[in-house]
Structure 1
Amino acid sequence: MLKVVHLNTYDGNGGAGRACMRLNRALLEQQVDSKIIVHYKFGNDPSIKTFNTNIFKKYYTAFIIIFERSLAKLYLKPVRTPFSFAWFGRSVIKHPDVKNADIIHLHWVNHSFLNPKHLAQLAKLNKPIVWTFHDSNAFTGGCHVRYTCTHYQQQCGNCPLLKNEAQDDQSQKIWVQKNEAYQKLNINIVAPSSWMEESVKLSSLMGGRSIHQIPNTLETNIFKPLNKKQAKEQAGLNPDKFIFLTGFMPSRKDLHKGTQYLLDSLDLLKQRLGENAENIELVVFGNRNTEDVPDFPFKTTFLGTISDDEKLANCYAAADAFLIPSLEDNLPYTVMESLACGTPVIAFTTGGIPDMVRHNYNGYLAEYRSAQSLTAGMEWVISYPDKEKLEAQSRLTVMDRFAERIVAAKHIQLYKALTTPAKKKKGTSADV
């Protein structure tokens, strides 16, 4: 039986953690001996292991994570673009499940987990390494979100996120550390989106590596369409209102999430609707509090953080459309979850979102950074004549491309290719 061990910093905390756990379950259903080991474990799932074998090691790991993130603030400008340094890490090569695995599958390994030094140690095991890139950090000098910066195509340096940016700044030093480590490793990259695949090809660190485009998956038996009226009533929403749903809405200053564009587009929509604006309601989930949120032009309901997937799926199913104004995203789960529940998506044409949203088919792809275009998308979905058709097309997109069985099969095909004598040569690129 094929043995795969997944390494991730956290268990289900964030999109990468959820993607790792969902892939693990999908592989288990296909009779693969698949296991997860995390740097820091939040949950109580006994099947997910951790390198912290006692409470003291767990507290120490938590301290190092917090300390590294606090120390980073001394070097970074006060912007909300995530950046990881490579000061701390841990060795994983002596763990029995890592030693016995046929495939080592890396996911998100920052926050003092696998820095370049400890990544390089994996070469001693002489095993194929698969690495799913959930953001850009693996092929940059530290940032997770690049926006328009192209320094990663050279050797970083002059990083706009650092206080003391220079040609030989911390971003270039990290780039050098990563480059030295990667030269020792047989890394096979999984890019969940076509956007990520193209980004990797342009990078100076990973451009010549084997790249396979395989999307993430989700639980299609949980995230599924429900009776719209009943779902609204279950969520405590007015069944006669047109519901726009959106995810975690931070302050206006958070550039990555595009909050200001959403606010501007909603203001414009209210002006255009006139008296009919009373028929619209905005629902926000994932907000940690209601003290640092913008003033929305429509009646707004804040649901807070939803940790129960069935309750979250009901919210998606209750909505008439999902709004995501993100300016850069790999393959955001909120989009996939919404479509799986039969709810169309309005988003900017950016990142991996076009891999999921087909314009005027299961949603609307707005012109990048255009509030007017985002408003046009909202008007399109409000006036769409056949809502049931739109719901069916949204669900079909997920079942055809992102269902568990399909995504698991693509990973298994890659694993088998890497564990047979006729494995593909390093440096090729293929869609699996």
Structure 2
Amino acid sequence: MKVLHVSTYKTGGAGIAAFRLHKGLLALGVASEFLYLNHETENFLKKPAPPLPPPLPLYKRIFSKIISKAVNRSQNKNDVTTGSADEAKGSYEAFTSPITDLDITQHPAYEAADIVHLHWVADFLDYPSFFSKNVKPIVWTLHDMNPLQGGFHYLGDAAANPHLAALELKYLNMKEVALSAVRSMSVVALSRWLLQLSTNKSILNRFSHTLIPNGVDINVFKPLNKGFAREALGLPAAKTIALFVSERLSVRRKGFDLMQDVISKFSDQDQVLFCAVGIQDTAPKPNTVYLGAIRDEQLMAIVYAACDVFILPSREDNLPNVMLEALACGTPVVATNVGGIPDVVIPDFNGLLAQDTTGEALYEALQIFIERKSLFDSGQIREDLLKKYTIAKQASAYLKLYNEIL
């Protein structure tokens, strides 16, 4: 069995999760290939430019210019229904087009594959050409909402950018037309939240669905001596330390602004310190240690081990890798009750869930955690994760699905 994983990136939450699965399948003896977008891939998979039409006679060229000027004068320049993602100006985390100039079916790994496994493929997969040309069984893992939507990846961005509604609908219609060529496909959701969304009136609801959560590398993310971890990072030994992690701290969906509200409310409590990991593109807050962006997993395991609690203040989220990584290190989680987070967080066992997505609710949940901190058992938290969210368990579930398909 040869499986080709297609992912725009190897980095970022979705790319990391996809590459972990690829490695997990290799460990099971599956011939797994990982195709992602880089300079070499982009050049290799470029679709040939269409041939130029023969030149028009001179009188037709003159007439065409006259007509073109008249149309341009009468056209509303703010009409986005004929625009592209490059022209879709707004405030959002991601807005991507279903059209690219790449053809994945040209790659030798595609030709050799028995199954094509799509992951986060925005700006890589060309919907019209791929779904019309593909002859392989497809598995598609939903890492966010984009396969169910037009250009946006989460509902919050769509709501915040109503001026792009027409372009969003245009892209959704393009996806629906492209997918009409697909007779069967296996869709995998990482969380019950996204499983419900996809099976309920989405453009993918006619396909079979399976729930398979992500796994985490338990040999990397594991409990470490807290004293050693704090000394290595230069953190104080005696304080309660709360951690926040995001690729960029300014991403509204990830809720660092809510975290900042919490930090402000703890300003008079000297025994609580906050740590933030990610690109710091927000104003610094007092009583906060900014560790910058960390790409090394071994170092991140030390960061999780150094902290008493991991804060996850997401407004929308699927099944964050960082949540699973923290729990694998035995670090409890205080989080918002959104997306796939309640699939994992068991109140008063491995964490707490805030009453709503506000800074006040997160502050109250963190206060309760601090009062009950001694009740959270690091060893039991890790043992629970080992039963549910390892890469080996994830890879075995996918292997079972592949065999059923073939």
| Residue 281 (str. 1) matches residue 273 (str. 2) | yes
CA distance in 1, matches of 2:262, 2:41: 46
> How far is 1:86 from its partner?
2.7
Residue 2 of structure 2 corresponds to which residue in structure 1? 3
Name the amino acid aligned to 1:236: G
Aligned to 1:62: none
Displacement of 1:6: 0.3
1:161 maps to a residue whose letter is N
* Cα gap change, 1:353 to 1:118, in 2 (>3 Å): same
Deviation of 1:295 (Å)? 4.2
Look up the equivalent residue of 2:368 and give its one-letter code: W
User: Where does residue 119 of structure 1 map in the other structure?
Assistant: 130
Using the size of structure 2 for normalisation, the TM-score is 0.85
Which structure carries more helix by proportion? Answer: 2
Specify the alignment match of 1:108 in structure 2.
Answer: 120
Q: CA deviation at 1:13?
A: 1.8
Give the 5 Å matches for 1:146-161. Answer: 146-147=155-156, 161=161
Q: Secondary structure at the match of 1:233?
A: helix
- Deviations 1:24-80 (Å, cap 9, x if unpaired)? 111111111111011226xxxxxxxx63467x97xxxxxxxxxxxx96353233x12
Kept in 2: contact 1:132–1:190 (CA 8 A): yes
1:31 aligned residue (21, 26, 29): 29
Q: Distance in 1 between matches of 2:176 and 2:337?
A: 32
Equivalent pair of 2:99/2:127 in contact (CA under 8 Å): no
Unmatched tracts of structure 2, length 5 or more:
47-82
The 5 Å alignment of 1:32-431 reads 32-40=30-38, 51-52=41-42, 72=85, 74-77=87-90, 79-111=91-123, 113-123=124-134, 125=135, 127-147=136-156, 161=161, 163=163, 165=165, 169-185=166-182, 186-248=184-246, 254-270=251-267, 274=268, 277-287=269-279, 289=280, 292-297=281-286, 299-384=287-372, 386=374, 389-419=376-406
Residue-by-residue CA offset, 1:134-189 (whole Å, 9 max, x unaligned): 0101111111011397xxxxxxxxx7625354xxx222221121112112122210
Rounded Cα–Cα distance in structure 2 between residues aligned with 1:404 and 1:183: 33
Post-superposition shift, 1:228?
Answer: 1.2
The alpha-carbon deviation at position 390 of structure 1 amounts to: 2.5
The structure with the largest alpha-carbon Rg is 2
Aligned partners of 2:248 and 2:278 also within 8 Å: no
Alignment check: 8 A CA contact 1:249 1:259 kept: no
In the alignment, the residues of structure 1 paired with residue 305 and residue 397 of structure 2 have an alpha-carbon distance, to the nearest angstrom, of 28
Q: 1:328 to 1:28 in 2, by over 3 A?
A: same
For structure 1, the residue ranges without an aligned partner over 5 or more in a row are 42-49, 58-69, 150-158, 420-432
Name the stretch that deviates more: 315-324 or 32-41. Answer: 32-41
Letter of the 2:271 partner, please give it.
Answer: N
Percent identity between matched residues is 32
Tell me which moved more, 357-366 or 370-379: 370-379
Secondary structure of the residue aligned to 2:125 is: coil
Alignment size in residue pairs: 369
Distance 1:94 1:385 in 2: 55
Residue 74 (structure 2) aligns with: none
Q: What letter matches 2:274 in structure 1? A: L
For residues 106 and 247 of structure 2, the distance between their equivalents in structure 1, rounded to whole angstroms, comes to 42
Deviation at 1:267, TM superposition (A): 2.5
Q: CA RMSD in A?
A: 2.3
SS of the residue corresponding to residue 163 of structure 1 reads: helix
Contact 1:250-1:259 within 8 A present in 2 as well? no
Is this contact kept in 1: 2:261–2:359, CA < 8 A?
Answer: yes
Contact 2:256–2:313 (8 Å) recurs in 1:
yes
SS in 2 for 1:51: helix
